[in-house]
């Protein structure tokens, strides 16, 4: 071992995020004191971010299989078969902690990392999505964070050349000290040409590819596995720096050497950098790995072996190449102006050996580095059930029309155009439905097939009732895909929670995962990839539980996709699904009545499936002229969004007498869709829907330039649109 490394002390162990019992586990495993580099390696492999030590035991209950699933969790990304020899590769990951410390680079490298996960599998990225959660708009840092994160997402994605087509943006005081940046990437590959991380064959060259290694991002994964405190901004050096132009070169070079059949195994260098990628490649293949760090291309002088092993510099790959293809692969990488270096070989030893400057810095059992990571079944307490709030007990403080005008211009419900117009959402020329609808629609090559893509979650539901909230997040993603005419196939999840060492937080996690699992089973919507992000809290205050769901579905013909905009005057407006007027945890209750309370709406998964299947069939047979699912804000918000998208108003009947008017229009009952059909077809279509035992009612007719409810003050579409589009640009300009 190296003579120049610092002595291991309890303080040094703690600085590496390892608890005394975990350090003892290391001593027992290797039978001696680790070197400094070995301590760093264990810290990287055993932190929460990389080992999933608090979550693995519960994630095992998620459904991950279906006839169309080619690869489920455990690889760089999930893979599903979409027919015709084509596969979709996708995943979502978080870059929460780095994005708070350094918003632009934190968000940018989050996008870069998830793109690499996709093209590492042999897929060409065709779309990105994201889900962003920020603190209270009044908080002094929020505007700065929004500006930096959005610029980072757009800067990297636009430069790399992949359209950002969808996502969500929310504000809540619980994200004040810990914003969330969840990035999702989707790629297309040949179903029989998927590349995996498991190395095979002894004596095979391990090749370092891409950009040079620097000191950025050291301890990035460990930093993302701890709570923030008042000094967290000092961790800026742990944030990686991205170069999208290098990544574009890396993409083309990787796809070219894959096409030339040079690759045995491939792994991107993400969290914990060279350490994690080398260990995973060897361990998955039941092989040892010998690394020679003198061969690693570096961009800074005098880097130690410890620094090289833990650096999270971006735009780097590790590959195992076929020996006879070594020269060909090198020529390809040199052609693209990228570094290519043989940094080691596979061995039969099942040991992970790291050498630098003539010293052996690490000699560890490779399987145990991953397999023997601590696994915790942490104690948890179930979240107490909240009372059901009766609509009759909620006295409306203003008229329905006044409430509509206020809600449509509120931070959560207002237009996010200011955000998505900074993203290139049409590059590559295959974006059929742009941001602003239920789901993005992206054509597969020349079509007619298309993908429906969405990212969604309702955190306030998840906090109030994690089980129902987890179910709702999946159901909402499934509905979004259905509402454009897509058949939902699979999802990726990004599970963002606070400190799992607190039983109440762990209870939120367990409840949400159970809810997600139940919904996935009921909707035939398996989990194929994902990420867990814990310790999202600052000075003891945790975020709202935010299990973001990224959904992928398929449309047989993109010309048959539905949009939410009304298509003409005089069409019938139908509501599919049952309305009781559920106000608990609604935006209306919070933003109009000032009450964040009550049980969230229950999710009946049988109803979700039945109602959704009927809606999809009506889209596919051409009966539906416009469709929108009903979610945040309730029924009147959904109708108003349809009116604003088209400039056509709506003439609506009064609420039924058996439901309070404010609850009917703003309640957030689930499993509902608003649909327009031609007036002449309305009675026939309604009879057919009723014949399938699906609740359906006629709400009114499209037309005019106002949203007008019988007995209420009409509001012009122009005024609503002005409020809807106005809040976010004014906020970012410092005017509100």
Of residues 692, 689, 665, 662, the one with CA closest to residue 675:
689
- The rounded distance, in Å, linking the Cα atoms of 195 and 621 is 38
Of residues 176, 86, 99, 88, the one with CA closest to residue 131:
99
219 is catalytic: no
Tell which phi-psi region holds residue 641, choosing left (phi > 0), alpha (psi between -120 and 50) or beta: alpha
Pairing, β 541-542 against β 626-629: unpaired
Listed in sequence order, the residues at least 6 apart from 214 whose beta carbon sits closer than 8 Å to its beta carbon are 241, 298, 299, 300, 303, 311, 313
How many CB atoms neighbour CB 621 within 10 A? 10
Of residues 365, 717, 398, 723, the one with CA closest to residue 565:
717
- 18 CB burial (10 A radius; 0-12, 13-18, 19+): buried
Residue appearing with tokens 């630098």: 356
186 phi/psi in degrees, rounded to 5: -130, 130
Helix (H) or strand (E) holding 599: none
Beta bridge partners of 190: 86
Q: At what angle do helices 717-732 and 635-646 cross, to 10 degrees?
A: 90
Task: Tell me which of 58, 95, 356, 425 is the catalytic residue.
Answer: 95
Task: Tell me which of 16, 49, 97, 425 is the catalytic residue.
Answer: 49
Residue appearing with tokens 């007008």: 708
- The rounded distance, in Å, linking the Cα atoms of 302 and 313 is 16
Are the beta carbons of 652 and 711 closer than 8 angstroms?
Answer: no
Residue appearing with tokens 């054509």: 443
Counting Cα atoms < 13 Å in the Cβ hemisphere of 328 gives 14
Are the beta carbons of 554 and 451 closer than 8 angstroms?
Answer: yes
Q: Which tokens sit at 408? A: 């449509």
- The rounded distance, in Å, linking the Cα atoms of 196 and 732 is 43
Pairing, β 205-210 against β 316-321: antiparallel
Residue appearing with tokens 């291991």: 8
- 301 CB burial (10 A radius; 0-12, 13-18, 19+): exposed
Of residues 184, 171, 77, the one with CA closest to residue 130:
184
- The rounded distance, in Å, linking the Cα atoms of 484 and 83 is 20
139 is catalytic: no
- The rounded distance, in Å, linking the Cα atoms of 527 and 550 is 10
Residue appearing with tokens 């610029």: 151
Of residues 526, 550, 551, 529, the one with CA closest to residue 65:
526
Are the beta carbons of 645 and 567 closer than 8 angstroms?
Answer: no
> What is the 8-class DSSP label of residue 213?
B
3-class secondary structure, 125: strand
Residue 144 C-alpha from the chain's centroid: 22
DSSP per-residue letters across 352-370: EEEEETTEEEEEEEHHHHH
Are the beta carbons of 389 and 383 closer than 8 angstroms?
Answer: no
Are the beta carbons of 120 and 158 closer than 8 angstroms?
Answer: no
3-class secondary structure, 320: strand
- The rounded distance, in Å, linking the Cα atoms of 399 and 562 is 32
Residue appearing with tokens 């139908």: 574
Are the beta carbons of 35 and 3 closer than 8 angstroms?
Answer: no
Indicate which residues carry an active-site annotation: 49, 95
């Amino acid at each position: 071992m190296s003579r120049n490394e610092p002595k291991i002390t309890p303080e040094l162990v703690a600085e590496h995020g390892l608890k005394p019992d975990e350090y003892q586990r290391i001593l027992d495993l290797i039978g001696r004191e680790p070197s400094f580099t070995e301590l760093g390696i264990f810290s990287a492999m055993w932190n929460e971010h990389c080992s999933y030590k608090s979550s693995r035991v519960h994630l095992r209950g998620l459904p991950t299989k279906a006839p169309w699933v080619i690869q489920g969790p455990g690889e760089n990304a999930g893979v599903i078969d979409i027919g015709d020899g084509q596969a979709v590769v996708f995943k979502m990951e978080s870059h929460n902690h780095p994005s708070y410390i350094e918003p632009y680079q934190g968000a940018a490298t989050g996008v870069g990392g998830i793109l690499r996960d996709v093209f590492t599998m042999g897929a060409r990225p065709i779309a990105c999505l994201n889900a962003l959660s920020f603190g209270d708009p009044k908080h002094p840092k929020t505007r700065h964070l929004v500006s930096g994160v959005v610029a980072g997402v757009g800067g990297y994605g636009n430069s790399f050349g992949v359209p950002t087509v969808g996502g969500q943006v929310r504000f809540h005081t619980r994200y004040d000290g810990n914003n969330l940046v969840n990035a999702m990437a989707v790629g297309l590959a040949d179903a029989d040409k998927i590349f995996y991380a498991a190395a095979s064959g002894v004596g095979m060259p391990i090749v370092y590819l891409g950009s040079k290694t620097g000191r950025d991002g050291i301890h990035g994964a460990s930093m993302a596995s701890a709570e923030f405190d008042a000094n967290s901004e000092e961790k800026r050096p742990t944030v990686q720096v991205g170069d999208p132009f290098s990544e574009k070169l890396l993409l083309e070079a990787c796809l070219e050497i894959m096409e030339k059949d040079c690759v045995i195994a491939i792994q991107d260098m993400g969290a914990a950098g060279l350490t994690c990628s080398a260990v995973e490649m060897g361990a998955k293949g039941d092989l040892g790995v010998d690394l020679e760090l003198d061969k690693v291309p570096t961009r800074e002088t005098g880097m130690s072996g410890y620094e090289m092993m833990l650096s999270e510099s971006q735009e780097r790959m590790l590959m195992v190449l076929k020996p006879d293809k070594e020269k060909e692969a090198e020529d390809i990488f040199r052609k693209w102006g990228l570094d290519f270096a043989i940094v080691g070989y596979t061995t039969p030893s099942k040991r992970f050996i790291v050498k630098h400057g003539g010293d052996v810095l690490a000699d560890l059992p490779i399987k145990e580095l991953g397999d023997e990571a601590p696994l915790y079944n942490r104690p948890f307490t179930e979240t107490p059930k909240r009372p059901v709030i009766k609509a009759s007990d909620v006295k409306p403080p203003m008229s329905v029309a006044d409430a509509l005008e206020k809600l449509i211009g509120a931070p959560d419900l207002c237009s996010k155009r200011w955000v998505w117009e900074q993203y290139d959402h049409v590059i590559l020329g295959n974006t059929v439905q742009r941001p602003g609808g239920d789901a993005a629609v992206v054509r597969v090559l020349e079509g007619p097939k298309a993908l429906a893509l969405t990212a969604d979650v309702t955190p306030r539901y998840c906090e109030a009732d994690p089980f129902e909230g987890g179910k709702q997040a999946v159901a909402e993603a499934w509905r979004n895909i259905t509402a454009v005419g897509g058949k939902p196939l699979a999802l990726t999840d990004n599970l963002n929670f606070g400190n799992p060492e607190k039983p109440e937080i762990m209870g939120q996690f367990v409840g949400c995962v159970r809810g997600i699992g139940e919904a996935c089973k009921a909707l035939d919507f398996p989990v194929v990839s994902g990420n867990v992000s814990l310790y999202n809290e600052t000075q003891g205050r945790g975020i709202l539980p935010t299990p973001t769901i990224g959904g992928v579905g398929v449309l047989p013909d993109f010309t048959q996709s539905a949009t939410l905009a009304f298509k003409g005057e005089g069409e019938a407006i139908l509501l599919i699904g049952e309305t009781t007027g559920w106000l608990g945890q609604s935006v209306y209750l919070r933003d109009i009545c000032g009450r964040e309370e009550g049980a969230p709406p229950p999710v009946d998964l049988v109803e979700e499936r039945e109602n959704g299947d009927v809606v999809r069939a009506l889209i596919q047979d051409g009966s539906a002229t416009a469709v929108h699912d009903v979610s945040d804000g309730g029924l009147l918000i959904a109708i108003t969004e349809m009116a604003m998208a088209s400039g056509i108003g709506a003439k609506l009947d009064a609420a039924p007498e058996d439901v309070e008017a404010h609850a009917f229009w703003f309640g957030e009952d689930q499993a509902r869709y608003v649909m327009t059909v031609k007036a002449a077809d309305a009675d026939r279509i309604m009879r057919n829907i009723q014949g399938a035992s699906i609740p359906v009612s006629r709400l009114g007719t499209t037309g005019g330039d106002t949203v007008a409810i019988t007995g209420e003050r009409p509001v012009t579409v122009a005024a609503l649109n002005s409020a809807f589009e106005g809040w976010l640009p004014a906020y970012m300009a410092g005017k509100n």
